[in-house]
Amino acid sequence: DIQMTQSPSSLSASIGDRVTITCQAGQDISKYLNWYHQRPGKAPKLLIFDVSNLETGVPSRFSGGGGGTDFTFTISSLQPEDIGTYYCQQYGDLPITFGQGTRLAIK
């Protein structure tokens, strides 16, 4: 299985802050990396696919980058509705695996 390691596991930031999360794959997964947002008590929602492509309707303050084994997810200006947990997901190989999650709170 391809292990996905997110960092940090949790963070708190102020409204308007720039927030960055990293995701490292245990082996080269090219560009086969997605990001999801899960609000408390809700199902995950796809935000970004193929490293950097925003799903329809996702605000432009979200962005993604990287390739190979190292990936980043950035919120350029944190908003109150961005709280929750963020997961990366790889599809470079089966089984599909997710990172352990990064819990984001407002300071």
Partner 1 sequence: QVQLQESGPGLVKPSETLSLTCNVSGDSMGHYYWSWIRQPPGKGLEWIGYIYTTGDTNYNPSLKSRVTISIDTSKNQFSLNLNSVTAADTAVYYCARGVRVVVVPGAINWFDPWGQGTLVTVSS
Nearer to partner 1, 46 or 83 (CB): 46
Nearer to partner 1, 42 or 107 (CB): 42
Q: Which two three-digit tokens encode residue 16?
A: 């308007």
Burial pattern 36-57, b for ≥16 Cβ within 10 A else e, equals: bbeeeeeebeebbbebbebeee
Provide, rounded to whole angstroms, the least separation between the CB of residue 15 and partner 1: 26
Judge contact between 45 and 36, C-beta under 8 A. Answer: yes
Provide, rounded to whole angstroms, the least separation between the CB of residue 37 and partner 1: 11
β-partners of residue 103 are 10, 85
Binding site for partner 1 (CB under 8 A): 1, 32, 34, 36, 42-46, 49-50, 55, 87, 89-101
Provide, rounded to whole angstroms, the least separation between the CB of residue 94 and partner 1: 5
